[in-house]
Chains A and B, each alone.
Chain A
Amino acid sequence: DAGITQSPRHKVTETGTPVTLRCHQTENHRYMYWYRQDPGHGLRLIHYSYGVKDTDKGEVSDGYSVSRSKTEDFLLTLESATSSQTSVYFCAIRPGGTDTQYFGPGTRLTVL
């Protein structure tokens, strides 16, 4: 999985609780992405980062925030989880100068 790890791999939480998902890369790529995957929707971009402390919103950013204080880590936070945020979350990196994205193994999040 291109040196990308995600933690936790599985999480069950309750509505209203905060949740943080972590994406870690070992190759110091500048560009990182958070997606959610839901049946019938493919992948939808939540947030992305183009450097340390440089982030921007994707198409489904409401209810999510991100932080990137180090090149290798990109954190996704659900401030107050809702059942509609039950999904599989994927992190991806993109080497500079290329279009190809490489994905982590995913985190399956269930919000009860």
Chain B
Amino acid sequence: AQSVAQPEDQVNVAEGNPLTVKCTYSVSGNPYLFWYVQYPNRGLQFLLKYITGDNLVKGSYGFEAEFNKSQTSFHLKKPSALVSDSALYFCAVREEGSNYQLIWGAGTKLIIKP
């Protein structure tokens, strides 16, 4: 069965420091991986995805994510955090060849302190 884990409910980072939001997954075949962000009282916004190719994926707002097949991880990163990055972040996965339904992590609240 497909599953996604976001092991941290909340991540606190000082503004200007690098940030990492963790995601691990479990699928039988090749994974398609996604990151979405949700700002307060808004819908989810697509950040980036990994389908195939380069393990380092660049996305919106200066975010990037690194696919690591051996560790079954897809951590979200940013070199220098902004206060405006404070939001709820969701990781999602689907297995190649499956239907297009995504399996979602529980979300990680990112707080950037000035």
Size class of the contact patch on chain B = 20 to 34
The number of chain A residues with a CB under 8 A from chain B is: 22
Task: Please pick, from B43, B94, B100, the residue contacting A106 in the complex, using a CB distance under 8 A.
Answer: B43
* Known contacts A42-B90, A43-B90; is-contact A101 B102 (Cβ 8 Å): yes
Report the tally of A-B residue pairs with Cβ distances under 8 A: 47
Closest-by-CB residue of B relative to A9 is: B41
Of listed A43, A44, A100, residue having the most chain B CB within 10 A = A43
Is A74's CB within 8 Å of the partner chain B?
no
Task: Please pick, from B6, B32, B42, B100, the residue contacting A94 in the complex, using a CB distance under 8 A.
Answer: B100
Residues on B facing A (Cβ under 8 Å): 6, 32, 34, 36, 41-46, 49, 51, 90, 92, 94, 100-102, 104-107
Residues on A facing B (Cβ under 8 Å): 1, 4, 31, 40-45, 48, 58, 90, 92, 94, 99-106
